[in-house]
Amino acid sequence: MLNDSTLSFRKDGTFRVLQLADIQDGPVVDPDAVALIDAAVREADPDLVVLTGDQIRGYDPGYMETFTSRRGDAIGAHVSRAVRLEAMIDGYSTRCSESPMATGGSESALRSTRLKIRESIRQFLDPIVSRGIPFAVTYGNHDFQCGVMPDEQDEIYRQFPGCLNPRMDDVRGTERSALACEVGSFAMPIMSRDGSRVAMGIMMVNSGDFDESGGYGAPSDVAVKWLERVRLGADGGNPVPSVVFQHIPPQDFYRCLRKTGPLTPNAVRGHRMFSDSCYVLNPEVCRPGSTLGEGPCCSERAVGEVEAMRRAGGYFALYCGHDHKNTFVATIDGMDYGYAPTCGFRSYGPHASDRALRLFVFHEDDPRSYETRLLRYGDLIGRASCDPLRILAGEYMVSSLSSLGDVLRRPRVAGCLLVLSCLLVTAIGRIGTLWRRRIDRS
């Protein structure tokens, strides 16, 4: 192992993992998110919790003094209008528009952001840490935007009991170095119930943030090569059955979908290089209960990650976050591709009742034959969210013409628009009739 903790299957031969994706919150974590995490942890009774990126809402008004849109950008530049409006509402208007970091930086501002980040992490980790559950963390495209980079955030996470993230300086040059690639990319062997062998592997992969040429990032070439060569078995022989968790999905996730026409109910427009088509789930490969709420927002740079996993052997599943409204799980050529939706309440996503964490139950005798299900807010909490207007705005958020089309293709929305159109036509007709009668009388 990378640290003193040993992960192993239970006496009943199971190993339970809870995936927590896209909390994406600011210095004060939304109470609905904390309640959901707490309830999900109680329901799941996990042996391990994996946090798959965008824990930090790096563009939150609370971080405006140190906000960085993309690596290399001037601090405080490219703040969106929506965030500026939110900053004004929350009382951050001066800091948002006149950041001292924009003209060279302020160490005091960075110190303040570090303290806020630690407090945010403390809040959403509390249901996990307070129960003594081990956890592992990788990073997404929004984490770094607060101005505190992932390597520094890694140090903060390690201050909490149960963190399995390795300190890279401690593993380089040791026998454990093969299990750790870079910040957010490392392997966790899961021992058999009797401790005699490695029965399964769980890989955390840092999928990057944004690509220099535009769009989202992808795992580094170093991480892809590491995935192919890492061996968890003591003898280095047959590949150990393994699952990969990361933030941004690869382009292979589009293989789970089927192209369709733009008028198809519930169809979504593809992202960037896939935006010339609309898509629906392919029922031939997707599990029952799967949902597609948005086009997979993958990198436009194909790095060959899935191909490397197939060449290595042993890998049977790849689960991501990033796309807050997607929950589908599909199987293609023996490899599972799946999502956990957002469990946060401060950004866009599905209806409040459908925000969730994903539970996995693996079996030592055959890790590939695992069960997985979503632990939803509506089932665990039931009550309305504390901020229903924000949730409603996030559910129907329109950021582009393509996302507007996705909203309009929902049958419920289309039905409402049809009813409103009929009412409007009826009202116009009624007004016209009354107007003609008035003219006739005159």
Q: Terminus-to-terminus CA distance in the chain, angstroms?
A: 92
Query: Which residues lie below 8 Å from residue 249, measured CB to CB, with a gap of 6+?
Result: 296, 297, 298, 318, 320, 322, 323, 337, 339
| The pLDDT value given to residue 82 | 78
Average pLDDT score over residue span 160-184: 86
* pLDDT confidence of residue 398: 58
List the single range of 15-24, 168-177, 420-429 with lowest mean pLDDT. Answer: 420-429
Q: pLDDT at position 321, please?
A: 98
Q: What is the pLDDT of residue 90?
A: 72
Which residue type occupies 219? P
CA separation for the pair 178, 170 (Å, rounded): 12
What single-letter DSSP state applies at residue 283?
A: T
Looking at 42-56, 57-71, 79-93, 255-269, which range is the least confident one? 79-93
Give the 3-state secondary structure of residue 81: helix
Q: What is the percent of the chain with per-residue pLDDT over 90, rounded to a whole number?
A: 71
Predicted confidence at residue 104, as pLDDT, reads 41
Residues 143, 247 contacting (CB under 8 angstroms)? no
d(CA 214, CA 105): 26
* Helix or strand holding residue 172 (H, E): none
Q: Where are the alpha helices (DSSP H) in 230-273?
A: none
Question: What distances in angstroms separate CA 298 from CA 107, 211, 305, one per listed residue?
Answer: 35, 11, 12
Give the pLDDT confidence of 306-343 residue by residue, as tens digits: 999 999 999 999 999 999 999 999 999 999 999 999 99
- Token pair belonging to 288: 């029952």
The string of DSSP codes covering 93-155 is HHHHHS-GGGGT--HHHHHHHHHHHHHHHHHHHHHHHTTT--EEEE--TTGGGGS--HHHHHH
Mean pLDDT computed over every residue of the chain: 88
pLDDT at site 101: 43
- Local confidence band at 422 (pLDDT 50, 70, 90 cut-offs): low
- Say what the pLDDT of residue 384 is: 85
**Sheet strand arrangement including 257-260:** 257-260, 278-281, 268-269
What is the structure's pLDDT at 1?
A: 41
Model pTM score: 0.89
Look at the alpha carbons of 7, 162, 16, 254 in this order and tell me if their dihedral is positive or negative. negative
Widest CA span in the chain: 100
State mean pLDDT over 365-370: 97
- Helix 411-441, helix 401-408: angle, nearest 10: 80
What's the pLDDT score for residue 234? 58
Which H or E element spans position 219? none
Q: What sign has the CA pseudo-torsion 336, 291, 135, 226? A: positive
User: HSE of 100 in the Cβ direction (CA atoms, 13 Å)?
Assistant: 7
Query: What integer is the mean pLDDT of 149-157?
Result: 97
C-alpha span between 270 and 265 (Å, rounded): 15
H or E element that contains 439: helix 411-441
Is the confidence at residue 414, as pLDDT, over 60? Answer: no
Taking a C-beta distance cutoff of 8 angstroms, is the pair 44, 75 a contact? no
Please state the rounded mean pLDDT for residues 185-213.
95
Determine the pLDDT at residue 15: 98
Enclosing H/E stretch for 14: strand 14-20
For residues 174 and 204, the answer to whether their CB atoms sit within 8 Å is no
> pLDDT-based confidence at 247, cuts 50/70/90?
very high
